[in-house]
Amino acid sequence: MNFVSVRIITSDVQRLVRFYGEITGMPVTIYTEDFAELATPACTLAIGSTRTLQLFGGDVARPADNHTAIIEFRVGDVDAEFARLSDTIKDATVQKPTTMPWGNRSLLFRDPDGNLVNFFTPVTAEAIKKFDKQGVA
């Protein structure tokens, strides 16, 4: 088995496409007005409109109502990313770069729908070894 994707359901696909393209600096592929993907070497972040829910039988997910998941991106230098994005995420920052007890330096903020996003950099020898072993860049 291979974990390949997380999908965000939104009422505004274009807004999230712009946001995730800006914060990651990566292209987001728009397949239809209702579906787009940001593909990274490790996993894909899919963005689907509320209209796609009809394909799954209706009201199975609610946009902008996530209170449990955090979308995480490993970055080369979390402090540099915070400086680069400070204007974009200034009103959405939950936690400025902080070194967590498990060895990652972490920046936590919200996307335009309120989903939590974590940019992190492993900084302790143990955390670096863990991610190097997983083959994540």
Domain with CATH 3.30.720.120 in the chain: 1-56
pLDDT along the chain (137 residues), means of 10: 93 97 97 97 94 78 83 97 97 98 97 96 95 66
Q: Which of 17, 37, 38 has the alpha carbon at shortest distance from 26?
A: 38
The model's pTM: 0.90
> Which pLDDT value is given to residue 125?
95
Which CATH fold topology does 80-137 show?
Answer: 2,3-Dihydroxybiphenyl 1,2-Dioxygenase; domain 1 (3.10.180)
Residues 137, 13: Cα–Cα separation, whole Å: 27
> Which pLDDT value is given to residue 68?
87
Residues 137, 134: Cα–Cα separation, whole Å: 9
Domain with CATH 3.10.180.10 in the chain: 80-137
Q: Which of 19, 20, 51 has the alpha carbon at shortest distance from 33?
A: 51
> Which pLDDT value is given to residue 135?
57
Q: Packing angle between helix 13-24 and helix 78-89, nearest 10 degrees?
A: 140
CATH match of 1-56 with 3.30.720.120? yes
Q: Could you report the per-residue pLDDT of 84-107, keeping only the tens digit for each? A: 999 999 999 999 999 999 999 999
Do the Cβ atoms of 35 and 54 come closer than 8 Å? no
